[in-house]
Amino acid sequence: MTSVEHLRRARLLIGAALCLCLLTLLAACSRPPQLQTLEGRTMGTYWQVRLAAGATGTPLPVLRAEIEAVLEAVNAEMSTYREDSVITRFNRAEAGEAVDLPEGFVRVLAAALALADQTEGAYDPTVGPLVNLWGFGPDGLREVPPEPEAIEQARARVGWQRLTFEPAQRYIVQPGGLYLDLSSIAKGDAVDRVLELLQHHRIDSAMVDIGGDLRTLGQRPDGSPWRIGIERPVPGSREVQSVLLLPRPLAVATSGSYRNFFEHGARAFSHTIDPRSGVPVQHALVSVTVLADTCLEADAWATALGVLGPEKGFDFARQRGLAVLFITADADQVREIATPAMQSLLGAIP
């Protein structure tokens, strides 16, 4: 081979190598960084964390263990299904007994009591005796509605004003017979706490989902907005009814009467109970989806608006500028009613 041929060959090789580099670079640019998923079970449902591959230097098994520790802490504080949780200790305390609270519990209880005040008791974290009586608590399901006397007895025990709460000193006092139930808000709080853990690890793009209540961090790894599917509110269905494009990091929670309920005669009884009547709500509302900055707010509002119903709840939400989607079902007709704040987001349905 002559030296000219050598040169030509070398040039060709370098050119080919350069081309290859460029192609790889282009591929890297066009292929979105992949999402990786961590998942497990908690609070009777699934948990899922999605984050960009390589988003953190922390090994994934370590991150998973830390997420599980956060979820464990929430359950150890607020699960009415656990014998040894803080909430169970309070629920079983004698009249006059004070129970010390961890910081997170104080925050959640303060939010729940503020909402009870704002909704004049439609939302009430002391609704527990009614929840249990109707078969939606740790005592297990029932198939027939309870007797009116039993409802009256349980209702007499409900009343958030009876609770002595000292947030600064971090304790509550059991007045006797009061039973706290924070199931309507604990899942949202758990989502927020897991998200804070991710932020602590300097992760800037993620989605945390516990049983459909979720919160996003940043944008998707490819820079596009996170898309949220809202389920079709039909028992057993996982079909998506609407898609929301989140313009900024937000939390989404849905409270539905279509998944946790029992039927008796021509009526369905769901796990959303009106503490004022002592009976599960009976309006045509099948699901309420709320968008808020924190999942704690979204989760609590979803339950509260579910009690208030599509009319009163709608006015309530609109006056407060909340982004809410109500889905009602009447005579097999499914209707969507969105507040103005939600409409601007729903406009983004593809």
In the complex, the residues that contact Mg ion under the rule CB under 5 A are 184, 255, 299, 302-303
Q: Which does 273 bind (CB under 5 to 8 A by kind): ligand ADP, Mg ion, none?
A: ligand ADP
Residue numbers at the binding site for ligand ADP (CB under 6 A): 123-125, 127, 131, 136, 181, 183-184, 187, 255, 260, 271-273, 275, 299, 302-303, 307
Q: Which does 131 bind (CB under 5 to 8 A by kind): ligand ADP, Mg ion, none?
A: ligand ADP
Kindly state the smallest distance separating residue 247's Cβ from ligand ADP, in Å. Answer: 24
Tokens of 268: 């369905």
Kindly state the smallest distance separating residue 183's Cβ from ligand ADP, in Å. Answer: 4
Cβ neighbours, 10 Å, residue 255: 27
Q: Name the residue nearer to ligand ADP (CB basis): 133 or 244.
A: 133
Residue 252 has φ and ψ, to the nearest 5°, of -130, 130
Kindly state the smallest distance separating residue 104's Cβ from ligand ADP, in Å. Answer: 17
Q: Are 201 and 54 in contact (CB under 8 A)?
A: no
Rg (CA), the chain: 25
How far is Cα 219 from Cα 78, in angstroms, rounded to an integer?
Answer: 31
Identify the three-state secondary structure at position 242: strand
Tell how far CA 20 is from the center of its chain: 46
Q: Name the residue nearer to Mg ion (CB basis): 174 or 257.
A: 257
Q: Which does 123 bind (CB under 5 to 8 A by kind): ligand ADP, Mg ion, none?
A: ligand ADP
Nearest Cα residue to 182 out of 119, 276, 233, 110: 110
Q: Name the residue nearer to ligand ADP (CB basis): 51 or 115.
A: 115
Q: Are 131 and 273 in contact (CB under 8 A)?
A: yes
Q: Which does 272 bind (CB under 5 to 8 A by kind): Mg ion, ligand ADP, none?
A: ligand ADP
DSSP string, 42-81: ETTEEEEEEEETTS-SS-HHHHHHHHHHHHHHHHHHH-TT
Q: Which does 136 bind (CB under 5 to 8 A by kind): Mg ion, ligand ADP, none?
A: ligand ADP
Q: Name the residue nearer to ligand ADP (CB basis): 23 or 156.
A: 156
Q: Which does 220 bind (CB under 5 to 8 A by kind): ligand ADP, Mg ion, none?
A: none
Kindly state the smallest distance separating residue 300's Cβ from Mg ion, in Å. Answer: 6
Q: Which does 129 bind (CB under 5 to 8 A by kind): ligand ADP, Mg ion, none?
A: none
Dihedral angle of Cα 126, 131, 136, 137, to the nearest 10 degrees: 50
How far is Cα 241 from Cα 142, in angstroms, rounded to an integer?
Answer: 30
Kindly state the smallest distance separating residue 263's Cβ from ligand ADP, in Å. Answer: 17
Kindly state the smallest distance separating residue 24's Cβ from ligand ADP, in Å. Answer: 46
Nearest residue to the partner Mg ion, using Cβ: 303
Q: Name the residue nearer to ligand ADP (CB basis): 181 or 209.
A: 181
Strand spans (E) along 246-320: 251-256, 261-264, 267-270, 273-274, 279-280, 285-292
Q: Name the residue nearer to Mg ion (CB basis): 212 or 221.
A: 212
- Name the β-bridge partners of 143: none
Residue where the block lists tokens 């979803």? 302
